[in-house]
Amino acid sequence: MTDDNHFDPTDVDRRRFLKATGLAGAGGMTAMAGCAGGGDDTEEPTDTTGGGDGNGDATPAETEEPGEIQEGGTLIWGHSEVTQNLDIHQTATASTGRFLNSVYDALVGLTSDLELSTDPDIASPGLATDWEVSDDLMTYTFSLREGVTFHDGTELTAEDVKYSYDRIANPDTGAIMQFVFGSTESVEVEDDYTVVVNQSERYQPFLRQLAFSGTSIVPADSGDTIGDEPIGTGPFEFVMRQQGNRAELEAFDDYWGEGPYLDAVEERTVTDPDSRLTGIEEGDFDLINDIPLDDINDVVGNEDDDLKTRTWSPLSWAFLNMNNTEPPFDDPDFRKAVDFCIDKQALVEGALFGNGEPTASPSFPNSAFRNSDISPRQQDFDRAAELFEQSEYDVDEFDLTFKVTTNYPWHVDAATIMQQFFQQAGLNVEIQQLQWSDWLSQVFANQDFTLSMVNFFTFWEPAYLYTSLWTSDGSFNFRGYASDEYDQAVADAAAADGREEAIPLYQEAQSIIHEDVPDVMLWFRDGTVAAKNNVYGLDTVLSPNNSELNFGRMWMDQS
């Protein structure tokens, strides 16, 4: 796979990311089933009956008593964002992941508590019935489920796994998860149902990263067509898409697992939040994701005969971005002073209408990897003034521009609130509102900004989270942060012998960025779905990474 003994485990260049997003109104930034804290370093199948160390409160609680499951019906889904590149290996947007998650399966299964498992009856079941890992973490042997059928009618074999992983590892593919195979020497077919992955060097997160949907298994030799006609082994098969308008999935009768119960799922792209809510209230949709933030408190908890809702936390996390490569934000004292200017709880109340909570770490709240010893800095203008004075720059010598995307109206609200905080501290900040495509081009690709903010989805896995966002050459480090101490901590964690050895290293990395303040962590935002009263299975729709959806076990009462 690679002859280079020194690889970047998140080598996703900005051009590839922009290609994957399509430079359009994509669903926020995502690692495509990548990290957001939590996760499990276990190298063996895990008993899913006990509690995990991941996002224990992430799955919406299901309190309904629906009676006997009914089959049939078409679920009309009002989707909050536009799907982009349909190639499961190339796509980099949460919006597309929500749509494709019912089409594909990864090799390794993941429970709702972010534990690896071979059990077929879990939140995100995998295609492997078993795996063995050598003591030195250099050889991984997977046994495949027999009798699994792709949507094109062919049977899943080890050749398909080898093809999928070779394709992801090939730089010409532009796969967003190519880094997963950065230390892979070869993928070998032992027999029809056994595949062996040989590593050239130890990469401790490898097994859990095979649970990412971006490493899903596709049929051999399908790479030229799956961007237009996705083919997987999931409960639903792709029918059609009119980008920005609608798309259709239909039940796959030969699905290997439980379900599906619905005949079809029809996605309607409805980016305006008020239109989504009005649509489900008037019966145009059966389910919507992302209830408008200013309406959540009126809708959730006030269920009637026509509507039911579910919430979970976190859906995503957001942070204030400062360009660490340019004055004044190349000075850590100046950056920390900015942190002290912000009242994070006021932001949650004012921009999210209370539907979230401040955080000092992007790791999931219940993650074993989360550093619970750090907490959000409280607003303190006196301390901010001391740090501004201590820095090498004068506060009043800069006219700062805050670039924010209108793709997320609550970001515009948050920027307006923070602008007021900054003015109180003597900082002159002008807000510039950008379309999502312009934000991607200016801020992410070209680093043409001083201040900005963005949210990330699906970051459940710590290696990807802390490597890609803050290491010196991390694929999502568009702020230009550089710290040898931080890079070493994350590298040591990736090479650790196991979970227990990695945990304190990732916690150390969080302490370093908390002290250096390359960004200001702002909040976790809650996730919501609403459904008509005859829709059941809302407890099964949320994927373990808190962003993607799966409709395989949902059903509708048609009486």
In what order do the strands lie in the sheet containing 139-144?
128-133, 139-144, 194-199, 184-191
Q: What is the pLDDT of residue 93?
A: 84
Provide the token pair at 57.
């409160």
Residue 399's CB is within 10 A of a number of other CB atoms, namely: 10
Identify which of 71, 104, 72 has the alpha carbon closest to the alpha carbon of residue 88: 104
DSSP state of 60: P
Identify which of 527, 62, 94 has the alpha carbon closest to the alpha carbon of residue 291: 527
Q: What is the pLDDT of residue 37?
A: 27
Q: What is the pLDDT of residue 533?
A: 92
- pTM value? 0.85
Q: If one looks up domain 314-526 in CATH, what number appears? A: 3.10.105.10
- For residues 219 and 158, give the distance between their C-alpha atoms in angstroms, rounded to a whole number: 10
Q: If one looks up domain 74-232+534-556 in CATH, what number appears? A: 3.90.76.10
SS3 507: helix
User: Which stretches of the chain drop beneath a pLDDT of 70?
Assistant: 1-67, 302-305, 458
Q: What is the pLDDT of residue 558?
A: 86
User: What is the helix (H) or strand (E) element at residue 522, kind and residue range?
Assistant: strand 519-532
Cβ-contact 492, 64 below 8 angstroms: no
Per the listing, tokens 């979230």 go with 356
Cβ-contact 554, 537 below 8 angstroms: yes
Identify which of 208, 233, 244 has the alpha carbon closest to the alpha carbon of residue 545: 208
- For residues 59 and 110, give the distance between their C-alpha atoms in angstroms, rounded to a whole number: 13
Identify which of 105, 135, 134 has the alpha carbon closest to the alpha carbon of residue 120: 105
Q: At what angle do helices 332-341 and 409-424 cross, to 10 degrees?
A: 100
Radius of gyration of the chain (CA): 23
SS3 16: helix
Residue 383's CB is within 10 A of a number of other CB atoms, namely: 16
Domain boundaries, the chain: 74-232+534-556, 314-526
Cβ-contact 257, 235 below 8 angstroms: yes
